[in-house]
Amino acid sequence: MQEKPKVSYIIVDNEFSGQRLDNFLLRELKGVPRSLVYRIVRRGEVRVNEGRSKVSTRLRGGDRVRIPPLRISRRPQPPIERNGLEVRILYEDDHLVVVEKPTGLAVHAGSGIRTGLIEMLRQQRPDDRFLDLVHRLDRETSGCLLLARRRSALRRLHEDLRLNPGGSSQFRKTYLALVQGDWDARRSVVEIPLRKNAERGGERMVVPDEDGLYARSVFTTHERFDQSTLMKVSLLTGRTHQVRVHAAASGHPVLGDEKYGDKTANSRLRAMGLKRLFLHASELGFLHPATRERIEIRSALPPDLAQVLRTLEGSRTDVDNPR
């Protein structure tokens, strides 16, 4: 027998002080139509500090909001779309949101880029009073991207990121990268300092340099193909272009990389359907900023990259470590 919905009470967080009651309810009651929210407020079924309120009532931190019994539709959220690029929500709660960034979308506006992912999300989520990036991904890289919905969450996540930028306890970032050649070692730890440079026609570059910032990556063989290897990469630091430069410095540049890669190898893979950088942020692990529970998020390889691997399947030389 299905349990009937019950009255619930929500204490307004100080971060939502000043928000209108209708916007607060729409954020809390995902899947409830706006018309129903207005109806239950008008009927007095929603109470603020035990008193009737209007939809325009401004809430204060510490207010106690009564929510009547409701049957809420939990339909999957549709992807956010702009100019043909879809941003899917992988995980969301009151403190944070994890999205699946598509390739070709910058995480924020900048030189020559009018709108990035963060501006796009802020525009399409007007009820989020605070929304900011916890970390970044290159424009060409797809996959898991973490954003904070509260300033307190951002501070805590940044603290975890500084303490453990890519390790196994506080923060873990894992990528899938298809690299040139046969990377014969099962596990390779690459520790090469990196320095930002801008010598190539003003284009930002990152180069190995003993005087650069410390950078550490762990490359693990995932699957071998003819003239290429699929690697899992864990970052122990978070430097700009770290995976790409460390792979190239190890003699195995990421395929499809027009900046640090090999033109001949890129041309060969382009004929097999690879039209962009083969680098995907596949896993993200972190401690929840409020509950300190472990959160693990995974993003499947995008269809275009998965198709490239299927094309390479026939030439695979080692099958003892399948995907």
Q: Catalytic positions, please?
A: 138
Supply 239's token pair: 């430097």
Q: How far is CA 101 from the centre of its chain?
A: 6
Q: Look at residues 69, 61, 54 and name the one whose alpha carbon lies nearest to residue 23.
A: 54
Under 8 Å between Cβ of 137 and 281: yes
The owner of tokens 């690299």 is 179
Q: How far is CA 125 from the centre of its chain?
A: 17
Return the H-helix or E-strand segment holding 93: none
> Using CA atoms, how far apart are residues 236 and 172, in angstroms rounded to an integer?
8
Q: Please calculate the CA angle 298-154-65 and round it to the nearest 5 degrees.
A: 95
Under 8 Å between Cβ of 88 and 79: yes
Supply 16's token pair: 């939502």
Under 8 Å between Cβ of 232 and 174: yes
> Using CA atoms, how far apart are residues 109 and 112, in angstroms rounded to an integer?
8
Greatest Cα pair distance in the chain:
72
Q: How many CB atoms lie within 10 A of CB 264?
A: 8
Please, which contacts does 192-201 make with residues 24 or more away whose CB atoms are closer than 8 Å? 192/245, 192/246, 192/249, 194/239, 194/240, 194/241, 194/242, 194/245, 194/246, 196/240
228 bridge partner residues? 180, 225
Note the helical H segments in 88-146.
Answer: 117-124
